[in-house]
């Protein structure tokens, strides 16, 4: 369990770091991995690979609600706006890494969309 949890957490960090302009790093003051896009977070992940490890991601309010009803391993965002954020228990066996990766990408996109058009264009140009 612990080794596969570490692998899942590494996978999540790789997905986050692979997104244009994004970086994932450990924030000591929050004791969490911070998924950062120009100073705005699009995800937070537990620092320890244990039974209670979670990743908290932004989503669309109606989709968030639906996901919580479909999966017991998705709960309202821990220490976040419960309408806009979900926490996914990383021990889940019903959600694949690919599904979690899509959720990370959606969270990133929702945060990216809040930036002015010029800033978004700069982020995209940097990776082209």
Question: What digits encode the pLDDT tens for the residues 30-88?
Answer: 999 999 999 999 999 999 999 999 999 999 999 999 999 999 999 999 888 888 999 99
Q: Which helix (H) or strand (E) holds 42?
A: strand 40-46
Q: What is the CA radius of gyration of the chain?
A: 14
Strand partners, 27: 32
Sorted by where each starts, the structural domains of the chain and their CATH numbers stand as 2-120 (3.90.1150.30)
Question: What digits encode the pLDDT tens for the residues 14-37?
Answer: 999 999 999 999 999 999 999 999
Rounding to the nearest 10 degrees, give the CA dihedral for residues 49, 51, 52, 55.
50
Strand partners, 56: 44, 87
- How many Å apart are CA 23 and CA 41, to the nearest integer? 10
pTM here? 0.94
Model confidence at 127, pLDDT cuts 50, 70, 90, reads low
């Amino acid at each position: 369990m612990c080794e596969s949890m570490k692998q899942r957490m590494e996978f999540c960090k790789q997905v986050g770091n692979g997104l244009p302009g994004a970086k994932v790093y450990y924030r000591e003051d929050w004791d969490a991995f911070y998924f950062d896009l120009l100073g705005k977070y699009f995800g937070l992940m537990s620092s320890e690979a244990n039974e209670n490890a979670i990743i908290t991601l932004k989503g669309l309010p109606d989709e968030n609600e639906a996901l919580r009803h479909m999966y017991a391993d998705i709960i309202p965002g821990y220490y976040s706006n419960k309408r806009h954020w979900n926490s996914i228990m990383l021990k889940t066996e019903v959600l694949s890494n690919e599904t979690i990766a899509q959720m990370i990408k959606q969270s990133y996109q929702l945060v990216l969309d809040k930036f002015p058009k010029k800033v978004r264009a700069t982020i995209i140009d940097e990776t082209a």
